[in-house]
Structure 1
Amino acid sequence: MGRQLWNFIKNFDEFAGMVLMAFIILLACANVFMRYVVGSPWGWVEEVTIFTFVWLTMFGAAAVIKAEGHCSIDVLTRKLPPGPGRIITIFGNLCTLVTIGLVIWYGTELSILATSKVTPILGIPYSLVDAALPVAGVFMFSYYLRSTWRHLTGKEEKCKMEELH
């Protein structure tokens, strides 16, 4: 049971991304049907789609970080000997951790401050949308922390994206 729970948590960002993408597609198709067949489109779909897309983007970014699939300019680190290259990589990861930490901090602050601001059609608090920053930020932070630890201990894994080529 514990292993299944850990696997669920570990893959939650990918699962959430798939569910949110499917939701956006189904909602858009349903609204097209409502517009062209029934003749009465739903006015609230745009709000929900935009908010869902925000969450999808943040969870998608976390999933790509987990797979180490983001673009990076590593010309310098590849040309350097392994020791200095590793130090530069660790420094870059630490800078990224600080940045993500700030995203979590200020995203939480933004979410708290937006509780009284609501959407025009459905009246959904913007804090639910803004919460995507700290929630997905925690996933991103943990993935970069893992990557930094692997570089520190010398247990780097080959990038999953490179294995495809």
Structure 2
Amino acid sequence: MNALFMFLRKSEAVLAGTLLLLMVILIFLNGVARMMGHPLNWTIDLATCFFAWGCFLCADIAWRQDGLMSIEILTRRLPPKAARALDYINHMIIAGFLVYVIYAGVWLSWVSRARAFQGMPGVSYSWVTASIVVGGVLLLITTLIRLCSALREDGFVRAPRRKGEASC
């Protein structure tokens, strides 16, 4: 299972970086083409799609590496047990929100499947809205892993005894 998560982490980082790089290249290409009098309007639309996917992938990478913004003014003043309980509650609220995001994203992808993306024939808008679903699932997995790790550290969940045995 760890090998799968390591592969997922590396693939996610490579894909996110590639999408963001392609987005910059497309926008630059459009600028050069516009200066030459032949604008490529489709590049902005494709860059927007890459941006949506890149944002969700980068959000998961940042969440996994604890790189998201946090306000700890309250938790630093609480006793350790209360701060930990607040951390658990926070993770559960995030998980609940992500379940809703996944549900809404699936619905939005289904509803927009017949809609053409920015007028491009043959390209469904669902390719963009699917980023909500995939990003939500990745963020939910990361949230549950973080919650399980916190519960294991506090002794609420035992560590797996055998290789491949699930702990949470």
- Give the TM-score of the pair, scaled to structure 2: 0.83
- Deviation per residue, 1:66-107 (Å, 9 max, x gap): 111111222222212211111110011001000011101110
| Greater fraction strand | 2
1:60 alignment counterpart: 58
Shift of 1:43: 2.0
Q: Which runs of 5+ in 2 are unaligned?
A: 155-168
Asked if structure 1 preserves the Cα contact closer than 8 Å seen for 2:101 and 2:136, the reply is yes
What displacement does 1:4 show? 6.2
Structure 1 distance, partners of 2:2, 2:153, is: 26
Where does structure 1 lack aligned partners over 5 or more consecutive residues?
156-165
- CA deviation after TM superposition for structure 1 residue 6, in Å: 4.3
| Relative contact order, higher structure (CA 8 A, sep 6+) | 1
- The CA distance in 1 between the partners of 2:118 and 2:78, in whole Å, is 55
Report the secondary structure of 1:44's partner residue: helix
AA in 1 matched with 2:83: G
Partner of 1:83: 81
Contact 2:116 2:124 in 1 (8 A): yes
* 91-100 or 5-14: bigger deviation: 5-14
> Counterpart of 1:64 in 2: which secondary structure?
helix
What is the Cα deviation at residue 140 of structure 1?
0.4
Alpha-carbon separation, structure 2, partners of 1:62 and 1:5: 16
In structure 2, how many angstroms separate the alpha carbons of the residues matched to 1:90 and 1:3?
23
Q: 1:69 to 1:3 in 2, by over 3 A?
A: closer
Q: 2:22 corresponds to which residue?
A: 23
Task: Indicate conservation of the 8 Å contact 1:114/1:125, yes or no.
Answer: yes
Question: Is contact 1:44-1:121 (8 Å) kept?
Answer: no
Higher helix share: 1
Contact 2:30 2:44 (C-alpha < 8 Å) held by counterparts: no
Q: TM-score, normalised by structure 1?
A: 0.84
Report sequence identity in percent: 24
1 CA distance for matches of 2:117 and 2:85? 46
